[in-house]
Amino acid sequence: MTKKRRFSLVWLIPIVAAVAGAWLVYTTFASRGPLISITMQSASGIEPGKTAIRYRDVQLGLVDEVTLSDDRQHVVVRARMSKEAEPELREGTQFWVESARITAGGVSGLGTLLSGSFIGMRPGPGAPKRDFVALESPPVYQVDVPGKRFVLQAEKLGSVSAGAPIFFRGIQVGSVLGHELDPNGQDIKIFAFVSSPYDGFVRRTTHFWNASGIDVSIDAGGVDIRTESMQSILIGGIAFDTPLAASGSNVAEDGAEFPLFASYESIAEAQYTVKVPFRVYFEGSAGGLERGSPVVAMGLRLGEVTDVHLEIDPTTMSMRIPVMMVLEPQRWQVKGERYKTPEAMHQAMANWVERGLRAQLQSGNLLTGQMQIALKVFPDAAPASITTEDGLIVLPSVPSETEQLTDKVQAFLNKLDKAPIDELVVDLRNTVKEADQLLASPSLRKGLEGVGPLLDSLNKTSNAARATLDGATATMQSANGMIGADSAMRYDVARLLKELTSTARPLRTLSDFLETTPNALILGKPLPDSQ
C-alpha cells in the first residue's frame, strides 16, 4: 500500500510571494494614471524622468519621453499623469513651460533657476482628451484673492502687459492678468483684476484709460501734466474712474466688458458719436494738413480731417487737393437744439454757404507747422453753393491767408515791374544835379548874406515878446494871490458883505414900521394897548 503525499508547508512561501507580487503588480498598474502627449515648439529645459507637470505647485505627472514629431517640426513630450489628475484631462486643459521670466509685475519663476523648468497645467472644461498642444507663453494669470475680473477692449496694447498695475484715483487696486488677440484680429482683450473692496467702485458707467507714461497738454491755462505714479511711467498701467453724475449707476458684475481709452482726454472725445462727412477742395499748397488735423470755427473744434491726397487731371494737367473731413454736430448748439441729423445739418450748411461760409486753410501750430481747416463767413466772397459728389456734400473754399498775402505781394511786384524805374532814376539824378548847381551859385550866396541881420532882428523881437509874456504871467499870479481862494482880500470882502447883511436887516424893519406908522417920527412910537 502506497503512502499518500502530504502538502509541504514549504510551498506556501513561493505561493505567498507570487500572490504578493501579483497584487503589487495589480496595485501598481491600477494606481497609474493615463499617458498623455504634449506637442511643443521646442524642448528647452525638458528632461525625461526629471521634468514634472504641476498644478498649483502640486506634482500631477512626470515626463517619460521627449521625441520629435513625424514631420520634424515639433517636439512631442509624453508624460505619465497621476490617477487623481485623470478627471482634469479634458478639451480645455492647457499646458505650458514654466521658467524664470520678467514681467511688469516683477520677476516670477525664480524657483526654476534651482529646480529646473517644469510644465504648468490648468484644467479646463470639455470631453476627456489625451493629446494636447502646449501654449507658447503662460496663459492669463489666476488670482485667489477676493475681487472681480473685467475684460477691456483696446485697439492697441501699447505698454500695458501682464502684471501692470491698475489705479483708482492714484491708489493701486489691482493688476493686469494678461491679454489676447480677439478672433476677429481687430481688437485686443486685456484681462484686468480689481481686488475687493475696490471692485465695488467699478460701475457700468466707469471709464478705463491707459495711464502709461506722462500726458502733457498745453492750453490757455498753461501746461497740464498728468500721470498716475512713477510705476506707471516706468512699466505702464491702467486707471479707471466713474463720472460724478453717473456715480449712482449699478455696480459692474464679474466679467463685464469695458472699452479701454488711449488717454484720459480721449474719454471726452468718445461722447461725440455723430459724425457727418464732408469734402473740400483746395487749389494751393496744403503742407502741414494731415489726418487728424482739427476743423475749427471761431477757435473751437468742430471735427477733424480724415483723409488728404493729391488729385491730378491728366487731360488738363491740373492738380487739386481733395480733403475729407467729418463734423461732429454734438459739439455745438443751434437755438437750444443739441443733436442734429445729417440731413438737417446738410440743410443748415447749405444756408450758411449762401451767406458766405467758406473753408480756409489756417496755421494751427507755429512750432510744428500743423495746419487746420477753419469754417468762416466771408461776406465779400463770390456767390457759391454746396454740391454733391459720390453722395458727399462738397463745401466751397477760399485761398488761405498766406496765399492771399502772396497774391497781393505778387500783384505789387507786377505793378512795380511795369513802372518806369529807369526814367525815374534819371529824373532824380537830374534833380539832384540842378540842386547842387543852385546851391553853388554866387547869387544864392549873396542873398543868404542879408538873411543874418534879419534873423538877429527876429531874435530880438522874440525876446521882447517873451519878456512881455513873463510880465503878464506875474501880474496874473499877483491878482490870483489877491483874489484867490485863500487870499486875505477875499476873506475881508466876505466879512464886509456879512456885516452889511446884518446891518440891512434892522433897516428893513425900520422901513416897514415907518411905512405903516409915518407919524412916528413926530409923535414917537405908540404905547401898547393896556389890558
Rg of the chain over Cα atoms, rounded to whole angstroms, equals 52
What would the grid cell of residue 503 be? 446891518
- Spatial distance between the Cα atoms of 356 and 379, rounded to a whole number of angstroms: 5
pLDDT number for residue 37: 92
Q: Write down the pLDDT at residue 135.
A: 86
Q: Which pLDDT does position 324 carry in this prediction? A: 93
**Kindly report the CA angle at 6 between 5 and 8, in degrees rounded to 5?**
125
Measured from the Cβ of residue 361, the count of other Cβ atoms closer than 10 Å reads 27
pLDDT at 464: 67
> Cell match 481747416: residue?
373
Read off the pLDDT of residues 167-201 as tens digits, 9 standing for 90 and up.
998 888 998 888 888 877 778 898 999 998 999 99
- Alpha-carbon span 224 to 261, nearest angstrom: 19
CA–CA–CA angle 158, 103, 162 (5° rounding): 55
* Three cell numbers written together for 30: 491600477
Handedness of CA 508, 514, 517, 523 (dihedral sign): positive
Q: What is the pLDDT of residue 202?
A: 92
Residue 362: per-residue pLDDT: 86
Helix ranges restricted to H, 298-341: none
Composition of the chain by helix, strand, coil, percent to 5? 35, 30, 35
Provide the pLDDT for residue 99.
Answer: 74
Amino acid letter, residue 509: T
Long-range contacts of 266-271 (CB under 8 A, 24+ apart): 266/209, 267/207, 267/209, 271/330
Using one digit for the tens of pLDDT, what is the confidence trace for 158-175? 778 778 889 998 888 998
From start to end of 155-237, where are the E strands? 165-168, 171-181, 188-195, 207-210, 215-219, 222-226
**Regions of the chain short of the pLDDT cut 70:** 1-10, 26-31, 100-115, 140-144, 213-235, 335-340, 403-407, 409-410, 413, 416, 438-441, 443-455, 457-459, 461-469, 471-494, 496-531
pLDDT for the residue 482: 57
